[in-house]
Amino acid sequence: MEPIIVKEDLYWVGAIDWGVRDFHGYVTKNGTTYNNYLLLDKDITLFDCVHKDFSLMSLENIRKLIDPKLIKNFVINHIEPDHSGALYTFLKELPNVTVFTTEKGKKGLERMFNMEGVNVKTVKNGETLSTGKYTLLFLETPMLHWPDSMVTYVRELKTLISQDAFGLHFASTCRFDDEFISTYSSFELEDAIYDYYANILMPFGSLIKSKIEEIVKLGIEIEIIAPDHGVIWRKDPKKVINMYLDMASGKAECGVVIVYDTMWHATEQMVYPIVKGILDEGVKAKVIKLRSSPLSDAVKEFWKLRGVLVGTPTINNSMFPSVAEFLYHLSGLKPRLRVAGAFGSFGWSAGGVKQAYEFFRKMGLEVVEPGLEINYGLKDEDREKCYEFGRTFAKRVSEFHKNL
């Protein structure tokens, strides 16, 4: 890739990672990008770094524009290794640079790298820096999504360099939202936003909401959002802001996702009449089989819909391991405003469904009880029970959704 103009003197100089499929456990089936940006001004400024495997690619992009030795300011908005990993290589090429980061960013960088001899200046919320023609406004965004995080607003370009916020894990030839929509579709763009938010940002909904409101109160005009992953929002930055506000408020479609796994197919057989029951209640349904689908897909679909039904066989008096992994992971994401129920089959001893409900209660989800457990395979009367279970659950989801 070549460097690409974002606006006037601001360039994308990042790298595309077509091949990454495991992003610290999150399945990135479409790869990702590591975006960093170069501002050409009296004091040339580089915003963010890239993954260490892509340092040469980004440096090559920079060299196509300037000699890296001329870079004066190096803004590190976020120190997670997908952004700071190449820092050491970069610093060798940027001998005259001052690094700007938050206090926590500085501490983190000192733990991760030998920063001896590097000029590091810490910045606080609301501080500004002039680069000549342009003014940078630093806004701390702690826990979005690490304690060190901040974003930088380039005032005269009305551009927010937003690090992880408003990002997507999607490697493509498209650097901008409008290009992505014409090459792929709006649906794929929205799906990628859900995927990223659900798997990375779900626990921080209230922080996201208050930070966006704080930025809006500052009265700063945002024409472009340039995140550190995925597309740059130039056509419709409000779209992603509004989607974030909706997701941060727990907004979801009225529907049910069934997330299940199966041992000898009895739990799987229960899914079919349950789905019919949900649909007959006029509620949409989606089905995700664990071990056939990435965990991150299950999390995304969970977050899109109001209700979740978890299907688990019992093994060794416990939930099936893949189902336990899903619920364990989900509880760390601190979901809210979702309705949950469980079903499954057992042989000589039940227990998996009961355990699933323990997880739901700990997460503070709205539960629909009792769950449904079937001994061994399904008989006709069991299919009827499954159907009614699906109908009852869908009715409760629908009521809960309407009353929000």
Q: Which positions are annotated as active-site residues?
A: 24, 78, 80, 82, 145, 164, 196, 229
CB 23, min distance to ligand FEO, A: 8
Contact 170, 32 (CB under 8 A): yes
Query: DSSP letters along 112-173, please?
Result: HS--TT-EEEE--TT-EEE-SS-EEEEEE-TTSSSTT-EEEEEGGGTEEE-TTTT------S
Q: Beta 339-346 vs 98-101: how paired, if at all?
A: unpaired
Question: Quick one: tokens of 343?
Answer: 């079903």
CB 203, min distance to ligand FEO, A: 13
Nearer to ligand FEO, 164 or 382 (CB): 164
Contact 81, 51 (CB under 8 A): yes
Question: Quick one: tokens of 199?
Answer: 């798997």
Through-space distance between the first and last CA atoms of the chain, rounded to whole angstroms: 47
When asked if residue 48 is in the footprint of ligand FEO (CB under 6 A), the reply is no
Which listed range, 75-83, 152-160, 172-180, 305-313, lies at the site for ligand FEO (CB under 6 A)? 75-83
When asked if residue 304 is in the footprint of ligand FEO (CB under 6 A), the reply is no
Which listed range, 68-76, 77-85, 102-110, 332-340, lies at the site for ligand FEO (CB under 6 A)? 77-85
When asked if residue 78 is in the footprint of ligand FEO (CB under 6 A), the reply is yes
Total residues at interface with ligand FEO (CB under 6 A) = 9
Nearer to ligand FEO, 211 or 338 (CB): 211
Contact 155, 130 (CB under 8 A): no
**Cβ count near 127 (within 10 Å):** 15
Among 41, 140, 228, 297, binds ligand FEO (CB under 6 A): 228
When asked if residue 211 is in the footprint of ligand FEO (CB under 6 A), the reply is no
Which listed range, 76-84, 114-122, 186-194, 394-402, lies at the site for ligand FEO (CB under 6 A)? 76-84
Phi, psi of 313 (to 5 degrees): -70, 160
Question: Quick one: tokens of 356?
Answer: 């699933």
Nearer to ligand FEO, 34 or 260 (CB): 34
Residue 351: which residues within 8 A CB-CB, separation 6 or more? 314, 317, 318
Comparing CA positions, the residue from 257, 263, 261 lying closest to residue 325 is: 261
Comparing CA positions, the residue from 69, 75, 1, 92 lying closest to residue 38 is: 75
Which listed range, 44-52, 79-87, 188-196, 264-272, lies at the site for ligand FEO (CB under 6 A)? 79-87
CB 384, min distance to ligand FEO, A: 49
When asked if residue 164 is in the footprint of ligand FEO (CB under 6 A), the reply is yes
Which listed range, 78-86, 187-195, 375-383, 384-392, lies at the site for ligand FEO (CB under 6 A)? 78-86
When asked if residue 195 is in the footprint of ligand FEO (CB under 6 A), the reply is no
d(CA 271, CA 291): 16
For ligand FEO, which residue has the nearest CB? Answer: 80
When asked if residue 41 is in the footprint of ligand FEO (CB under 6 A), the reply is no
Question: Quick one: tokens of 24?
Answer: 């610290």
When asked if residue 17 is in the footprint of ligand FEO (CB under 6 A), the reply is no
Among 41, 43, 80, 140, binds ligand FEO (CB under 6 A): 80
Binding positions for ligand FEO, rule: CB under 6 A:
78, 80, 82-83, 145-146, 164, 228-229
